[in-house]
Amino acid sequence: MVTGCFRAACFFHRNFYPVNKLKNILLCAFSITLLFACKTSQITIKPIKVDSTKAVINFQQKKVYKFNNDQLLFSNNFASARLNSIKQQNDSTFNIGIAPENEPINPSPWYAFKVWSAKEKNIYITLSYIGTTHRYNPKARVKEQEWKDIDDVKISDNKKQASFKIKAFTDTILVAAQELISTADNYKWEDSLAKLPFVKKQNIGHSVLGKAINALSIGENGNQLIVVLSRQHPPEVTGYMAMQEFIRTVTSNTLLAKDFRKRFQLLLIPVINPDGVDEGNWRHSVAGVDLNRDWENFIQPETQSVRDYLLKKIENEKAKVYFGIDFHSTYYDVFYTNEDQPLNKTNLPGFTVKWLNAFSESIPNFKPNIKPSPNGGNVSKSWMGRVLHAEALTYEVGDDTPRPLLKLKGKVAAEKMMELLLAGDK
């Protein structure tokens, strides 16, 4: 594109040269203007320097583990499972090893396994973490019942082991670090959204293992955009749940949501790391990479797919992105915002502050924990601010934030965003 503009500039300069000095000066100025106009209209993508897809993770051996003459069974042979080893210590006591996909890695020791027994029996389980300490208190579910916290979890002094009791019986019990939401579960949710007349689903790329990465566009006006991302880190389920409530609010039948969808379009990529989710990874993709540290060099196909989709959308629609949210989870609720950049103005300066203020005023006793950081880094919020010129932040939900509260916050967050954007669009 730029090369073509340069040739065009040279053509003007060469073919309309020297009638007189004034014309020559004017034509040179026109040539330079043409060149720079072409340059600024083209979105520059930093070239990929390194191929890190050669990184290798430690895949689990998926199988059913049989004990007590096949009367008691454990399994990690399902999507999002994590059980690396199991040792029987006596008739009813078991030590389960939980190891990461590769190291070094963030301390997010995800686990998920199934257990069932030919007859009702109390069993005692110890989770032994490799290279880190306990973080997630276990939850259990039978069939399609609600998830319930497992009580009386005992943590060792060095916090590298967690022990608890469950009652095994003929129905399969699913034990997990958090509510288990696999890629297949997400695809079903995407399909339910795509049935709405104002939602369009599009495949935008594939993961290392070939799983689909999909985007959903919600609303009509394709040149005023909001971007919502989620599930770059597999165990961060509470962030995903908050995102779902946010989207439910935007797609609802309220007058506010209907008005918003007429004047804006929201672009949703719900699961960026489908391989990591289904492999039960602690944090990384199957290439062994933290995808939320790949938003500068864009080495991985997952982040490349999202980047290319967004840039193409902006270019085709001559659009602006006003706000971007990337949903995550951590130990507590926190908002990681971009610091103001005087030399890199956003498309809607000050929106994040206004939104956080309106958000906090709408929930009793809620004071947002806000942590600004420069937007020159390699995480998604930084890229959205730096390249898309969007107001952007990382929306972190606590591991143990009560589920009704995280849903309330997700709902109010969406409502206040819509209200403020509509007020500014009048």
Kindly report, residue by residue over 361-374, the tens digit of the pLDDT: 999 999 999 999 87
Which pLDDT tens digit goes with each residue over 394-426?
Answer: 999 999 999 999 999 999 999 999 999 999 876
| pLDDT reading at 36 higher than 80 | no
Q: Which of 101, 190, 396, 415 is catalytic?
A: 396
The residue extents of the domains of the chain are 2-41, 64-176, 183-424
| pLDDT reading at 9 higher than 80 | no
Contact 292, 249 (CB under 8 A): no
Structure confidence at residue 221 (pLDDT) = 81
Q: How far apart are the first and last CA of the chain?
A: 36
Q: How far apart are CA 164 and CA 9, in angstroms?
A: 74
Q: 129 — phi, psi (to 5°)?
A: -90, 135
- 396 catalytic, yes or no? yes
State yes or no: cis peptide before 104, omega within 30 of 0: yes
Q: Percent of the chain at pLDDT above 90?
A: 82
Q: How far apart are CA 179 and CA 405, in angstroms?
A: 16
Helices (H), 141-210: 183-194
Pick the more confident residue, 28 or 114: 114
**Sign of the torsion angle spanned by Cα atoms 411, 412, 414, 419:** positive
Contact 272, 303 (CB under 8 A): yes
Q: 227 — phi, psi (to 5°)?
A: -115, 130
| pLDDT reading at 194 higher than 50 | yes
> What's at 387, amino acid-wise?
V
Q: 156 — phi, psi (to 5°)?
A: -65, 160
Helix axes 2-15, 21-41, angle to 10 degrees: 170
* Residue range 183-424, CATH number: 3.40.630.10
Structure confidence at residue 375 (pLDDT) = 72
Which pLDDT tens digit goes with each residue over 37-87?
Answer: 333 333 333 433 344 454 579 999 999 999 999 999 999 999 999 999 999
The architecture CATH gives domain 64-176: Sandwich (2.60)
Average pLDDT, the chain: 89
Distance of CA 86 to the CA centre of its chain: 31
Q: 77 — phi, psi (to 5°)?
A: -90, 60
Distance of CA 237 to the CA centre of its chain: 10
